[in-house]
A = this chain, B = another copy of it.
């Protein structure tokens, strides 16, 4: 019974019972990979949005929200990248071919972003936070400019 519930949950979490074996125990299907990486981007937007607004002076600085969101972003910033597998090339998305054609530059753009997020999480005061958030924002924009369709 315990196992049955567990399996049922896994299948639900993954969307379909049939998708379970291929999604979990082997390479995920291209459409699943795209959905997962887009989900990470949605949540990065959710939790960076308020911080960008604070950094730009559009919202009051709130240390508690800043720290919580920076922590979440530390995890989220790691999550999109394995979704850009070569087997997703033909899936409908805004990902540009440059992702696969210039993998080194794409990795550099990822590292700039994850590095900036790490600095955000370790910012000790409002000034350091705002500087770090500005750099996170620039790293988002730079990567989108080069690797995402308008």
Q: With an 8 A cutoff between CB atoms, is A50 at the interface? A: yes
* A24 in complex: contacting residue of B2, B35, B49, B75, CB < 8 Å: B49
For the complex, is A123 an interface residue (Cβ under 8 Å from B)?
no
Given contacts A25-B59, A43-B43, contact A9 B52 (CB under 8 A): yes
Contact B6–A56 (Cβ < 8 Å): yes
| A13 close to B44 (CB less than 8 A) | yes
Beta-carbon contact of B134 and A2 below 8 Å? yes
What B residues does A30 contact at CB under 8 A?
Answer: none
Answer whether A13 and B45 are a contact pair too, CB < 8 Å, given A6-B56, A134-B2, A138-B6: yes
Does chain B have a CB within 8 A of A27? no
Q: Residues of B contacting A7 with CB < 8 Å?
A: 52, 56
- Which chain A residues (1-33) contact chain B, with CB distance < 8 Å? 2-3, 5-10, 12-15, 20, 23-25, 28
Q: Knowing A42-B39, A141-B9, say if A50 contacts B75 (CB, 8 Å).
A: no
User: Which residues on B sit within 8 Å (CB–CB) of A55?
Assistant: 6
For this complex, 12 residue pairs linking A to B, each with C-beta atoms less than 8 Å apart, are A6-B52, A6-B141, A9-B140, A13-B44, A24-B52, A24-B53, A24-B59, A25-B53, A35-B42, A43-B79, A71-B75, A74-B75
- A: residues with CB less than 8 A from B are 2-3, 5-10, 12-15, 20, 23-25, 28, 35-36, 38-46, 48-50, 52-53, 55-56, 58-59, 71-72, 74-76, 78-79, 134, 137-138, 140-142, 144, 148
